[in-house]
Structure 1
Amino acid sequence: MDRRTLIRLAGAAPLAASLPLATAQGTYPVRPVRMVVPFSPGGTTDVLARLVGQKLQDSLGQPFPVENRPGANGNIGTDLVAKATPDGYTIAMGFDGTMAINPHMYAKLPYHPQRDLQAVVSVAQVPLIFVVQSSLPVKTMGDFIAWARAQGDKVHWSSAGHGSTGHLTGELFKSRTGLKMTHIPYKGGGQALQDLLGGQLHLLVTAPPTVDGHLKSGALRALALSAPARLPGLPDVPVMAEAGVSDLVVASWYGVFVPSGVPAEIVRTLNRAINEVLAQPEIRTRFQAMGTEPTGGTPEQFAETLRRDDARWGAVVKENGLRTE
């Protein structure tokens, strides 16, 4: 073998060594991608993850199975993703509760969203809906406020969990109305929903997809939304201002995150594919019918949303003394 041949082979070696990684990134995904939901089945995070995951399988050619990992108000499942191998095969459907509120709620959070996770894309923006069991003797939010005031401190209400957006929105509602309600925390909106249906709770503050089917069946009654205007998918549900509760406009967001260190090409692939899913007329119609607005956008835009709401909710937690040591 002559000197020129040796030089050519030596120069080709680094390129050959780089091919498996480049090919793996370029053809991502080559195997199933697990989408971790840090709550029990049936809640809004779970519903959105399953809708998006099915469409991602159709477009990217690999399954996106949902894996529910509830516990510690979403911290267990979120931490699992934060500590996963940064190869793009473990992703999270997160929301502002786990990403922007929990860092202020818990003194010893096992992960830091802005350090250990990377924002991929915003999936949906969702106002909170206040619902009661249909058998409760109230028809409007005004009726409920009058009824709850007469019950004193015997009214039990819930949300997706301690420190969730629904929890903080409910606390704001209490401060606006002067009601003395007791918050009962659960490991997700799905579990709270079952106890509302069973009569153990009087009020649930959650995102509309959690209760969509039960509103349509008549098992639950919607009293008001924390939105600035009525939603096309829920035209008969008034907003808080119409119900006589001023200055209570809150929307929660949901989106996809990956562990920090995932290659930029994989982040771009996921971002592009999810944006395409959210642009599909079928998905937009299904989201809006549940009172949810599909969003999308760039990773940079989503990261900025996280930074903004981290500051916003941090102030609310501090002002209301909700931090858990």
Structure 2
Amino acid sequence: MTTRRTVVGGACASLVAPWLLPGFAQAAEASYPQRPIKLVVPNPPGGPSDIVARFLAESMRTPLGQPLIIDNRPGASGLIGTAAVANAPADGYAVLVTSRSNHIIAPLVQQGAQANPQRDLAPVGLALRAIGVMATPGKSPWRSMRDFLAQAKAQPGKLFYGSAGIGSTNHIAIEQLKSLAGIDLVHVPYKGSGPLITGLMAGEVQLALLDFSSAQSALQSGSIRALAHSASHRLPSMADVPTLAESGFPRFDPSFWIGLAVPRATPAPVIERLSKALDVALAETQMKARAQVNGWELVGGGPKALEATIRQDMDDFPALVQRLDLKS
């Protein structure tokens, strides 16, 4: 006999949200994505992460079958955008364009940070490494890193290096170089990469770490000179400039990496789909051409490459940030 309780119970069961049922969740993962994906950039438009994001959005659209919409969320050294993705539903429709700046350094520097990327995010893949160039003024006497380091050791505390600001990637990187090389340089923080390059050209500082694309114009004009770079091999456009490994620093990697990450609880099939789409995008002829122009080393290879990069940075940077007392 059918009771009222049975009827009511059956009616209630039919009202259960379908996405709470295991079968529905598995089907949704298998058919992912079914709508546009938000690609969150935790930086303003026009910066390196934003440029890379726009190229990836264009190239990943075909393998995913859905558009990727750029959502710039700058602020708090990238932690506002990072927190927005960390707190988003773990369904693959919010993807973070992440970098060393917001993923590693900002959480170490900022007290009460809005997000903990190590805890809250899962890696999708390492898109690329933007080559870092150790540069000096064009009129300087140094022709190599060894030349510069020799004078720095002979004159401790007499040479200056510039950065894009306290706690910036190039600030932390040159402090790391100081520790590795046993030299004493005086830090001059600028307000961004543009003023830093201007100061280097004018000889206000004797050394700076610049990303390859930002340095190109000044390098070509001779206003600054490259002493070494972070690529794994010599570059056709700077064939006479050695790598940092050739200059005696095989473990020093000041490249500006960019990857993709999603909320930690995102299902593995969704992460795999995004990762494969990233690899397809990086293999495109057009993307390879862009990489050559901008000084990018395309990576890919799934989440493990980004995991390894994050692990290495977490081995290197916390102690250095603590020693420099970089807190905000």
Instruction: Compute the TM-score of the two structures, normalised by the length of structure 1.
Output: 0.75
Structure 2 residue 35 is the aligned partner of structure 1 residue 34: no
Q: Which amino acid aligns with 1:324?
A: K
RMSD after superposition: 4.1
From 54, 57, 64, give the equivalent of 1:60.
64
Q: Is 1:81–2:85 an aligned residue pair?
A: yes
Residue 24 and residue 236 in structure 1: after superposition, are their counterparts in 2 closer, same or farther (change >3 A)?
Answer: same
- What is the DSSP-based 3-state SS (H/G/I as helix, E as strand, rest coil) of the residue aligned with 2:281? helix
C-alpha separation in 2, matches of 1:294 and 1:192: 26
Deviation at 1:35, TM superposition (A): 3.1
2:311 to 302, 307, 310: 307
Equivalent residues of 2:135, 2:207 under 8 A apart:
yes
Whether the 8 Å CA contact 1:87–1:262 is kept in 2: the answer is yes
Q: Which amino acid aligns with 1:74?
A: G
**Which segments of 5 or more consecutive residues in structure 1 lack a partner in the other structure?**
none
The one of 182, 187, 197 aligned to 1:182: 187
Please, which runs of 5 or more residues in structure 2 have no aligned partner?
Answer: none
Check the 8 A contact 2:37/2:94 in 1, yes or no: no
Deviates more, 1:264-273 or 1:27-36: 27-36
Once the two structures are TM-superposed, the CA of residue 237 in structure 1 deviates from its matched residue by 2.1
Question: Does the 8 Å contact 1:130/1:206 carry over to 2?
Answer: yes
Distance 1:89 1:185, change over 3 A: farther
In the aligned structure 1, how far is the partner of 2:87 from the partner of 2:159? 42
Number of the residue aligned with 1:157: 162
Q: 1:273 Cα shift?
A: 0.3
1:209 to 213, 216, 226: 213
| Cα pair 1:35 1:53 within 8 Å, conserved | no
Q: Equivalent of 2:134, from 130, 133, 137?
A: 130
Deviations 1:124-159 (A, max 9, x none): 234421234546676655676688888966835014
Hey, what's the Cα distance between the residues in 2 that align with 1:174 and 1:302? 26
Partner of 2:18: 17
2:265 is aligned, of 261, 266, 282, to: 261
Q: Distance in 1 between matches of 2:84 and 2:238?
A: 35
Distance change >3 Å, CA 115–CA 208, structure 1 → 2: same
Which amino acid in structure 1 is aligned with residue 18 of structure 2?
A
1:321 aligns with 2:324: yes
Give the one of 165, 169, 172 matched to 2:173: 169
132-141 vs 56-65, greater mean Cα deviation: 132-141
What's the % identity of the aligned pairs? 31
1:281 aligns with 2:285: yes
Among 287, 293, 299, which residue is 2:297 paired with?
293
Residue 257 (structure 1) shift? 0.8
Residues 40 and 85 of structure 2 are in contact (CA less than 8 Å); yes or no, is this contact kept in structure 1? no
Q: Residues 32-68 of structure 1: CA distance to partner in whole angstroms, max 9, x if unpaired?
A: 523314356233x333222222211344344334344
Which is further off, 97-106 or 109-118?
A: 97-106
Aligned to 2:98: 94
Q: For structure 1, which segment, 127-136 or 266-275, has the greater mean C-alpha deviation from structure 2 after superposition?
A: 127-136
Alpha-carbon contact 2:162-2:171 (below 8 Å) kept: no
1:250 paired residue number: 253
| Distance in 1, Cα, partners of 2:228 & 2:145 | 6
Whether the aligned pair in 2 keeps the contact of 1:40 and 1:69 (CA below 8 Å) is no
SS at match of 2:187: strand
- Please state how far the C-alpha of 1:167 moved relative to its aligned partner: 2.0
Q: Which moved more, 1:306-315 or 1:215-224?
A: 215-224
Question: 1:69 Cα deviation (Å)?
Answer: 3.4
- 3-state DSSP of counterpart to 1:33: strand
Q: How many residues align?
A: 315
